[in-house]
Every structure is written in C-alpha cells, then in structure tokens.
Copies of this chain bind each other. A is one copy, B any other.
Amino acid sequence: MHFGDSLTAATKEKSPVCVGLDPNVSKLPEGISQDAEGMLTFCKGIIDAVKDTAACVKPQMAYFEELGWEGMRVFWETCSYAKEQNLLVIADGKRNDIGSTCEAYAQAYLNELSPIDALTVSPYLGFDGINPFIEQCDKNNKGIFVLVKTSNPSSGELQDLPCGDEAVHEHLAQLVEAHAAQHCGPESHLSCIGAVVGATYPEEMKYLRTLMPHVPILIPGYGAQGGGAADVLGGFIPDGTGAIVNSSRDIIFASSGPDWKEAAEKATADMAEDIKNALM
C-alpha cells in the first residue's frame, strides 16, 4: 500500500500517536542492563506496550549508533520487531547526501525488504539529496519526512531567515509540496513525501498546513519538548488525519520502576485521548 494511505489507515484504526524510541542507555528502567542487550529488551517492551494504541514508532538512530555496530544490530532488530507487531516504523536518521551516496542511504533504509516504512531526511542539499529517496518510496511503498520547521530554540538561525516575503522554511515547504503533490496515495490523496514541523509553533503549523495540503506532517516536540494537544491541531486536515504526533521521553520513560511498560501504555493511551478530544 502507498505510504500516504497506510499512514492514514493506521491513524484511523489506532490514533495519530507516534512513539519515539530514544533508548538512551543511561536512562533505562531499573533492572535493565545498560548495554545493547538491555536496549533491545527495552525497545521490545515499549513496542509491546504501545502497539495497540500507537500508529507508528520512531526509532531515533543516534542512540543505537552510540553503541557502535552492536547498537545498529539492535536498531535493525527493533525495526523488524515493530514491523511484526503491525506498527509503522519511521527511522529518525535525518540522513542527507547527494548522487550515488544518497542512493546508498535510500537503498540502506528504504529497500524492498527493509522493515522501515519511512526515514527522516535533512534538506540543506536541495532536492538532489531527496530525489533518490523518493525513487525508493515510489518503488517500495516507503515514505520520507523532510525537516521543514523544527522545534528547537536555534531552529530560526537558518529556517527563519527572511527571503523576500517569506522565511526559508516557508520557501522549503512550497518546494516540498510541489514534489509531494506528484506522489499521492490513491485513497488518502496524501503523499509519501512528508514534512517534520515542530509542535511549539502552532500558528506557523496552521500556515504550513495550508502551504502543504498533500503532505503528511510528523510533529515532534509533544510533551517533554513543550507542545500540547491544542498546539498540534493545525497540522491535521479536517478529517483528523494527515498528521502524526510524536512523543518520546514522556512515554518511554514514564516510569523508571518495574511498571515501565504499563506506564508507557497508559501515557500513550492518555496522549491519544487528549489529541482525539482536541480534534473534536
């Protein structure tokens, strides 16, 4: 199924919640070893806890890479396990390069047999650094999320620079939409080309939604990073799809005690409920 359609279906069936798997080994719950084995145990436990409520998980590659190649083995096992549990898997790697190197990244993560459904990508190189990913998306029903406007304090240093009447990220949003509109799913009319827009700028979110009508929006920054249910509404389209909202620490580290799985399950359900109520 086209990625825009599968994302929409998962949102309707479960919720627009995406659970960020940021398995910082120094923060794993009591009793779990601070190594690759413990990381895998933890990720599988979180996946089991959230799989009925969340549409997606988003493994953050940095934490796996921090453990070297052993960490990357855990990354791939985590992605495969999540896929088996019927979750969409968004690898958060913010990869970017050009030409044959970009093709290698696209092949690495979005090949036909990959358990990964979508990858985050960074746009500074222009669409030379994005088109090779789109080719794999078209061939293998995969997706990408392009960084457009992020939620960190210094995001404005480049993203908000004024270029004529618009900011850099608004210009980028229109480039993304122009490409995205050519790659829409037959049912959802949403593209396999998505965008990342932080939850801490609700007015900007509404405006970017109007600039990118065909683009699924991945919204990080919910919870620990400061955004709430009201702040993410602008990312959705009127039928309550078109956006997925990520929370990491507030869910996966909801408890550091023996009830960490139950706490993660509850935090996911609470977040889904909060967003559902806000969308009414």
Contact = CB atoms under 8 A, between A and B. Distances in A.
Interface of A: 22, 24, 60, 62-63, 65-66, 68-70, 72-73, 75-76, 92, 94-102, 104-105, 107-109, 122-129, 147, 150, 152-159, 161-164, 168, 171-172, 175
A52 B157 CA distance: 41
Given A69-B75, A73-B69, A124-B123, A150 B98 contact: yes
A108 B24 contact: no
B68 A24 contact: no
Contacts of A171: 158, 161
Question: Which secondary structure dominates chain A's binding surface?
Answer: helix
A101 B69 contact: no
Given A63-B101, A75-B69, A154 B168 contact: no
A158 B104 contact: no
10 smallest CB-CB distances across A and B, nearest first, come from A126-B154, A126-B157, A62-B104, A69-B72, A69-B73, A128-B154, A98-B152, A66-B108, A128-B152, A65-B108
17 contacts: A22-B101, A62-B104, A62-B108, A63-B104, A65-B72, A99-B152, A122-B125, A123-B158, A125-B155, A126-B154, A126-B156, A127-B157, A128-B154, A158-B168, A162-B164, A163-B163, A168-B168
A69 B101 CA distance: 18
Nearest to A162: B163
A201 to B, nearest CB: 14
A149 to B, nearest CB: 10
Given A65-B108, A101-B22, A172 B152 contact: no
B150 A102 contact: no
A175 to B, nearest CB: 6
Given A69-B73, A105-B62, A158 B97 contact: no
B66 A69 contact: no
Contacts of A163: 161-163, 168
Contacts of A62: 95, 97, 101-102, 104-105, 108
Given A62-B97, A68-B76, A69-B76, A147 B126 contact: no
A221 to B, nearest CB: 10
Given A24-B100, A63-B101, A129-B154, 13 more contacts: A62-B95, A62-B97, A62-B104, A65-B72, A69-B73, A69-B76, A94-B96, A126-B156, A128-B152, A128-B154, A161-B168, A163-B163, A163-B168
